Amino acid sequence: MKLRNKINLYTSVLFIFLLILMNTSIYFLSNYLLMSNELDRATAEVEKIVSDIGSAIDQIPPSQLLLAYVPVEGMIQVLKEDLTSEAKITTPSEDTLESRTSSYSPGEVSEIISYKNKQYVFVSYPVVWKDGNVVNLQVTSSIQATDEMIRMLRIVLIAVTTIAMIPVILSSRILSNFILQPIRSMINTMKDIQKSGQFKRLELENTSESELVEMGETFNHMIDLLQTNFEKQEQFASNASHELRTPLTIIENYSDLLKRRGLERPDLFEESVEAIHSEAVRMREMTEQLLLLARQQEQWNIKLEQINVTELVMETANAFQNTYQRDISVQDTETTTGYTDFQKLKQLLFIFLDNALKYSEERITINVGHTSNETYIQIEDKGIGIPKDELTKVFDRFYRVDQARGRKQGGSGLGLTMAKQIAGAIGVRIELDSIENHGTTATLFFKTKDV
């Protein structure tokens, strides 16, 4: 069953059930109140009759006395304990009550009785008669008018319930259409995406804060993520195919050369193996960088915390100095702290130190310090520098200031691109200052503490 039909069915059944329950309650409550009112009225009348005849029973014959109190439609009688009547008067319209079997009761009785398909209120009241015996003064009064009123109320409520089902069913249909409208819109959007191959979003009403709008916003956010991932995959495939073409060509050419002349010329063999190994290492590093760039930042497991920046810089500088046998000087050794991700900041330092090592031969200087609200790390080299008109391009993928030199010294042109994304993820601001043929200074700014 479709969701629309389920909503129609469930809401209609629920509303109709509640409507029937409410009208049934109204009917039984009204019936109870009307009958209670008839009993109270009849009881009050009998008590008044008992009060009135108590003072006149010795002066007026019982048959004449009771004649003044006979109901409009009913019967009044005085019943002795031996079930004989001292006096019994019935209205012409209710002469069938004459044949009703009477019963004596020592106490007061008031009830609704049914006799020959008609409703009556019956009240029996004990009275001390003129001979000193206790008799029952019994009054039986027709409540046909009240019964007709209750019957009419029943018919009206049934009619109202039946008629009300129509707007209930229509309103449930309108409700289901209203609820399913954003879902239908979402389905249509998905079908459009499937047919066209283009990512589309739902148009939302900003005036509402309902769950339906929240669902639409979640759908749009999901589409944004899918589009971003799709674009990253396309970009990864394009970048990989573009950048891997050259090393694969080099490996293929040197392998072919080895097959033809490698055994004859040892010098060519050594050169080919070295070139193949170098290109394979570069391909592996570049693939790892491409995969990292293709990931969402949410998958990087960012952990922001208060760290000892000076200690991190000293450890990183010593590791590079011992590995590459290059002079790296840390100018400020006083303890400086900052609020960022330890591992990602270390990765940033590796990228900028690696660039400084590749493009300079002299000492590399690192300064650590802080301003009023920011901590900074400044990496300065005395290398080839970057022309000012190319400073804004160095963060683009595969961009190299000097293509030939970059290819010779290694690297894929992805380091600074990755540095920019890492910096954005951990809240680091990068500033580059460079003078061609004099050197480059890269400064990393981040928060001193969490605020």
> Which of 353, 377, 352 has its CA nearest to residue 428?
377
Per cent of the chain over pLDDT 90 is 19
Rounded to an integer, what distance in angstroms lies between the CA atom of residue 182 and that of residue 203?
A: 9
pLDDT, mean of residues 146-174: 89
Residue 353 exposure: Cα atoms within 13 Å on the Cβ side: 26
Q: Which amino acid, one-letter code, is at 229?
A: N
Rounded to an integer, what distance in angstroms lies between the CA atom of residue 8 and that of residue 25?
A: 25
- Domain 3-151 CATH class label: alpha beta
Residue 122 φ/ψ, nearest 5 degrees: -120, 130
68 vs 33 pLDDT, higher one: 33
What is the residue extent of each domain of the chain?
Answer: 3-151, 211-294, 300-447
Reported in sequence order, the residue ranges of 84-157 that DSSP labels E, i.e. its strands, are 85-90, 109-115, 118-128, 134-142
Tally of CB atoms within 10 A around 440: 25
Q: Which alpha helices (H) appear in 57-143, and where do they start and end?
A: 62-67
Non-local CB neighbours of 3 within 8 Å, separated by 6+ positions: 180, 183
Binning pLDDT at 50, 70 and 90, where does residue 407 land?
very low
Non-local CB neighbours of 52 within 8 Å, separated by 6+ positions: 69
pLDDT, mean of residues 401-412: 46
pLDDT computed for residue 292 by the predictor: 65
pLDDT, mean of residues 354-372: 87
Q: Which amino acid, one-letter code, is at 441?
A: T
Binning pLDDT at 50, 70 and 90, where does residue 265 land?
confident
Binning pLDDT at 50, 70 and 90, where does residue 404 land?
very low
211-294 CATH choice from 3.40.50.1820, 3.40.190.10, 1.10.287.130, 1.10.3720.10? 1.10.287.130
Write the DSSP string, 1-67: --HHHHHHHHHHHHHHHHHHHHHHHHHHHHHHHHHHHHHHHHHHHHHHHHHHHHHHTTTS-HHHHHH
Is the model's pLDDT at 21 over the cut of 70? yes
What does pLDDT average to over the chain? 81
pLDDT computed for residue 300 by the predictor: 60
Binning pLDDT at 50, 70 and 90, where does residue 206 land?
low
Q: Which alpha helices (H) appear in 57-106, and where do they start and end?
A: 62-67
Binning pLDDT at 50, 70 and 90, where does residue 400 land?
low
Determine the longest span between alpha carbons in the chain, in angstroms.
Answer: 159
Of 179-183, 238-242, 414-418, the poorest mean pLDDT is in 238-242
pLDDT computed for residue 376 by the predictor: 93
Binning pLDDT at 50, 70 and 90, where does residue 445 land?
very high
Considering the domain delimited by 300-447, tell me its CATH architecture: 2-Layer Sandwich (3.30)
Of 316-320, 343-347, 412-416, the poorest mean pLDDT is in 412-416
- pLDDT by residue (tens digit) across 210-247? 666 777 778 788 888 888 777 767 766 766 665 667 66
* Burial of 316 (C-beta count, 10 Å sphere; 0-12/13-18/19+): buried
Is the model's pLDDT at 316 over the cut of 70? yes
Tally of CB atoms within 10 A around 104: 16
Cβ atoms of 272 and 253 closer than 8 Å: no
Rounded to an integer, what distance in angstroms lies between the CA atom of residue 153 and that of residue 133?
A: 46
pLDDT computed for residue 274 by the predictor: 81
- pLDDT by residue (tens digit) across 194-203? 787 777 776 7
Q: Specify which residues 339 forms β-bridges with.
A: 306
pLDDT computed for residue 397 by the predictor: 60
Is the model's pLDDT at 403 over the cut of 50? no
Rounded to an integer, what distance in angstroms lies between the CA atom of residue 299 and that of residue 218?
A: 19
Residue 33 corresponds to which tokens in the numbers above? 């109140």
What are the CA-CA distances from residue 289 to residues 293, 308, 422 (Å)? 6, 27, 12
Cβ atoms of 317 and 333 closer than 8 Å: no
- pLDDT by residue (tens digit) across 37-91? 999 999 999 888 888 776 666 677 777 778 888 888 999 998 888 888 878 889 9
Q: Specify which residues 120 forms β-bridges with.
A: 113, 142
> Which of 286, 231, 326 has its CA nearest to residue 410?
286
Q: Which amino acid, one-letter code, is at 68?
A: A
Same fold, 3-151 and 211-294: no
